[in-house]
Structure 1
Amino acid sequence: MANMGEMESNMSSAQEKNPSSTTALHELPPNDEARPAVFSSTVQEILFVAVATMAIAMSSLLTGSVTVLTSQVQTDLGMTTAELTWLAGSSSLACGSFLLCFGRLADLFGRKTLFLGSLIFYAVFALGAGFSQKPLQLDVLNGVMGLMSAASIPPAQGMLANLYPRPSKRKNRVFACFSAGNPLGFVFGTIFSGIATQLFNWRASFFLLAIIYVVVVAVAIWVVPTDHGAKEPLSLLALKKFDVVGTILTIAGIGMFSGALSLGSDAPSGWKTPYVLVLLILGALFIIGFVFWERWYEYPLVPMFIWRDRDFSLVITILLLGFLAFPIMTFWISLFLQELRHYSALMVAVHLLPMAIGGILVNIVAGLIMHRVSNTLLMTIGATAYTGAFLLMGLQHSSSSYWAFIFPGLLLAVVGADFQFCVANMYVMSALPDDQQSIAGGILQTVTKLCVTIGMGISTAIFDAVEAGGPTSHGYFAGDAIAPYSATLLYCAGISAISIPLCAFLRIGRQGHGGNDKARAAVGKRSSWCGRRRTKQEVIEDEPMGSKV
């Protein structure tokens, strides 16, 4: 027996030194750090991740581009304030309304075709926007471009999640890069648009977007792998699984609610205007109806079980509070630099450049440390950085130094955005099974897009109220025209500060190391009943899995 024990010990030691020698005896776990087999080279893999990142950047690139050319477009096309508001909001409205719909389409009928088609038509409509001669034409084309961005994000995120299904350092790096597309897209949009507008005119900004995405399409045709997952044939069952009622409710609800928020500040009687109130109430009712429908329907568009996970709900809430402020801060800082400091579009882009550089560096750091550091700590750092950034910029005066207030504020803001989005992206993708990864991405992106619309509505109301009161003769901002801008930034600081104490209730450890097998098993268990109503016994068995709200 002693000899047998010694022999087993020697075999174990040999296996540790040369794992390949045990292949005949045991099935080895997959090498999570290896390149996915569908890619023939690391170059192809890198290009695919870059293409996916450009997909998530589509909407924010457009929003950033529009931000710095509003003044020139208004003069050239004679746009009213309302038409200018829709220029900035139509793409986000269309994107936010249709994300869940396209997420379900991608999961059911395949991701590659939808992904490539959305990229192609985005480039086509960007070219058309550059030739627009009327305000309505430009507004509509911006909305259609937002629709195309909604069609590209869920399949891109779904493909990434399927190619990197298990926690690993490689997956962390990939999703850190992918996550960077959302916050950095806005920043690079302002930079590219500023340069193009300064050198040529506002039309060149849309032509540049078209050129960029023609190149992206050419690369995507080569690097995007073929769908290997099961696809639903067109049938009544597929239509049932698509959840037509849920899709209509979410599009109508988010569309009406977001539209009311976009229209409220510029309506004839403000928020008291009848059509604004009707849209707001109907939108809220449709969203409430959507929640009740999803709890009852056999094949829900958004599986309601995910909200029972306390950490999932907290992560989404914390991210929501951050995105009620981050894009809003960027918009008002850009407007402040144009209106009060009279910077050209190019100079605005240059002064926002630290966000782009800092964002790239922060995402690299996030990809390297997510498997080493508690992700709860990263979310807390992000919430604190957000609050500090907005508070710093909100307390400046018109004559304050850029280097003392705006520069450090921009750097802190991207720390908050990138840390929180990276952590949320990884966690949300692990909350749903492999065949629902596109809808998981749709949930996350819908939250962020809806937050931009809500945040813009709230901040615009604050700006208008402070501006209507005229310059104050006493207090911190006495006689300073920056007061309404500062009010919007202090709103951002207040809303983001709420997320700091919420981080104390998070229980997210490290993501991307080998210790997440238990969590993956829980997801696998839930996936067995996802898409159908559970039995009473399954509900009872599921109670210990994760914490409840």
Structure 2
Amino acid sequence: MPTDTTPDTTPDTAKTTAGHKTTATATTDAAPTGPIPASPPGNTRLSTRDKLVLFVLCAAQFMVALDFSVLNVALPVLGQDLGMSQSALQWAVTAFALPSGGFLLLFGRMGDLYGRRKLFLSGLALFGAASLLATFAWDPASFLAGRALQGLGAAAIVPTGMSLLTTTFPEGPARDRALGISGTLLSLGFTVGMVAGGVLTDAFGWRSTMGLLTLFALIVLPLAPALLPESRHPDRPRLDVPGAVTVTGGLLALIYALSTAAEHGFGGADVIATLVIGVALLALFGYVESRSAEPLVSLPMLRRRTVAWGNLGGLVTFSMMSTIVFVLTLYLQETLGLSAFKTGLVFGVQGLFSVVAGMYAAKVIGRFGARRTLVGSLTGQGLLTATLLGLGSGGGSVWLATAAVSLASMCHLGAIISYGLTVTSGVPDDEQGLATGLVTSTQQVGITIGIPLLGILATTSSDLLSGVHTVIALDAAIVLGAAVLVALGLGPASRVRREARARA
């Protein structure tokens, strides 16, 4: 009886075998240095070449994560320098979020079809050039153009970089360790961005935040061509243009509506209209895909329990943690009166705890499996979030906030890594770009929706502390509810393995 896991299974990485990686349908073009030898399954030790590949891919992901947060603290100074009104400053964030989230699925699939390495390098080059434009922007239009092009480059980098990682390292301990490092740097990138943004802006001005991203691109881009192999679909099927148009338009409309609602609420006509358009286009996308001979997104893939429930876990962990970081930032500065620098230190501690979690995530997943780790991490994140209900107006609450958000971030990181493994394990190499596109789309949408859906309750409350408590209670309830749903949806690991053997 074959022991390989079928696509529907939850990855129980402690049980993986040497035949676990599916490679029969993948094609590898000759790279300048040839294909990268994968680390043997069952062994977490990475070769020197593996480490260099991992460095390039993780540095690119870290650079994109940094871009999500490095500019936040600098926005007031930026607005004064470029003459942007307070209401226009939201576009510094939205101009990046729209293309970075809207084009993820499309670019992930294009990487599958036409070459992941090629698209990854193109995204890196575009991101670096766009960062340079943003660094030397001379007016709001040139700055926002740079931000939008950064987002477009990020939409190419993230799914292709993740799929290059999952096709380079076989399922099992080697991939667990690689994704653990990647997830740690992803989480750390957000935190470092918050701290570095304030330090750089105070010392060198807001342009230095964009210059830092340019520097990252200049470091990574020369190394990538010599290290990364090319891979793509062997049959070169046609791109599903109707599916690409509807899903990209739907995601763009949805992200625009949610980003705008974070500033102005859900009552605006433009928010309501774009929400309706986004939902309609995504519904149309589902209809188009059901009738397409070569769909952009395979509906059977979406019906896999690992894909559906794994992505739900990812959506919840990202959206709810971003909400907590947002409301704690308000609470620490406006209720406790901490400076921006001291607030940054709180989240700096959070980042250190995330690094520690990343060091042990692969071992935890190897021992308990990705499914149990995902459920346990969501449960831990929810319970630790609930402890923040003890926050008050006294100065001692800063220690509770620091400890709770740091420990919750360790669980959050475990959920990030295990949901990525859950979704991508068992997926053929020629569909890894699609699977990782779904993972990163979930990540982007999760980061986008948390603040407008819950954070607005804190900003519109007559009493900030009361509003913060309301958000914390809802946040914890949602995460704990998701843990229950994911556990029930994925089912016991033993039942998953029985189903896999029956299909085999």
TM-score by length of 2: 0.84
Number of aligned residues: 467
Contact 1:36 1:163 in 2 (8 A): yes
What does residue range 278-317 of structure 1 map to in structure 2 within 5 Å?
278-317=273-312
Deviations 1:45-99 (A, max 9, x none): 2121122123333432111112222333234334333322222233222211100
Distance in 2 between residues matched to 1:493 and 1:430, nearest whole Å: 28
Residues 196 and 497 (structure 1), Cα distance of their counterparts in 2 relative to 1, 3 Å cut: same
What whole-Å deviation, never above 9, does each CA across 1:14-67 have from its counterpart, x for those lacking one? Answer: xxxxxxxxxxxxxx96799xx95279x933321211221233334321111122
Q: Which residue of 1 aligns with 2:102?
A: 97
Which position in structure 1 is the counterpart of 2:173? 169
Q: Output the CA distance in 2 between the equivalents of 1:517 and 1:114.
A: 39
Q: Structure 2 unaligned runs (5+)?
A: 1-16, 22-34, 40-45
Larger radius of gyration: 1
The 3-state SS of whatever aligns with 1:483 is helix
**Structure 1 unmatched ranges of 5 or more:** 1-27, 472-480, 523-543
| Residues 1:500 and 2:500 aligned together | no
Distance in 2, Cα, partners of 1:508 & 1:65: 41
Aligned to 1:12: none
Structure 1 runs of 4+ aligned residues shifted over 4 Å read: 28-32, 228-233, 338-345, 515-519
Alignment partner, residue 537 of structure 1 = none
State the superposition RMSD in angstroms: 2.9
Asked whether the equivalents of residues 111 and 232 of structure 2 are also in contact (C-alpha less than 8 Å), the reply is: no
Structure-2 separation of matches of 1:503 and 1:164: 26
In the alignment, which of 141, 145, 153 is matched to residue 140 of structure 1? Answer: 145
1:102 CA drift (Å): 0.3
Is the 1:358–1:414 contact (alpha carbons within 8 Å) kept by the matching residues of 2? Answer: yes
Q: Any residues of structure 2 matched to 1:23-102 within 5 Å, and which?
A: 36-37=36-37, 42-102=47-107
Instruction: Measure, in 1, the Cα distance between the counterparts of 2:174 and 2:52.
Output: 15
Q: 1:254 aligns with which of 232, 247, 251?
A: 251
**CA contact 1:187–1:355 (8 Å) conserved in 2:** yes
Deviation by residue 1:455-498 (Cα, 9 ceiling, x = unmatched): 122134323431xxx34xxxxxxxxx433344433332232122
Name which of 230, 239, 258 aligns with 1:242. 239
Q: Equivalent pairs: percent with the same residue?
A: 22
- Of residues 399-408 and 409-418 in structure 1, the stretch that sits farther from structure 2 once superposed is 399-408
Q: Is the 8 A contact 1:322 1:496 kept in 2?
A: yes
Which SS does the other structure have where 2:399 is aligned? coil
Q: How does 1:115-154 map to 2 (within 5 A)?
A: 115-154=120-159
SS in 1 for 2:70: helix
State the alpha-carbon separation in 1 of the partners of residues 254 and 158 from structure 2: 22
Distance 1:132 1:397 in 2: 43
| Alignment partners' CA distance in 2, 1:92 and 1:243 | 24
**In structure 2, do the counterparts of structure 1 residues 483 and 518 end up closer, same or farther at CA, with 3 Å as the change threshold?**
closer
- Tell me the distance in 1 between the aligned counterparts of 2:445 and 2:164: 24
SS at match of 1:372: helix
Deviates more, 1:341-350 or 1:80-89: 341-350
SS at match of 2:37: coil
Q: Secondary structure at the match of 1:368?
A: helix
Give the 3-state SS of the residue equivalent to 1:500 in structure 2.
helix
Q: Larger RCO: Structure 1 or Structure 2 (Cα < 8 Å, ≥ 6 residues apart)?
A: 2
Work out the CA distance in 2 between the residues paired with 1:287 and 1:42. Answer: 43
C-alpha contact 1:394 1:486 (8 A) present in aligned 2 = yes
Aligned to 1:227: 230
User: Are residue 276 (structure 1) and residue 266 (structure 2) matched?
Assistant: no
Return the alpha-carbon distance in structure 2 between the equivalents of residues 111 and 145 of structure 1.
18
2:317 pairs with one of 309, 322, 327: 322
The alignment partner of 1:302 has SS state of coil
**Take 2:419 and 2:332, find their aligned partners in 1: how far apart are those partners?**
32
Q: Does 1:183 align with 2:187?
A: yes
Give 1:24's aligned residue.
Answer: none
TM-superposed deviation, 1:305: 0.9
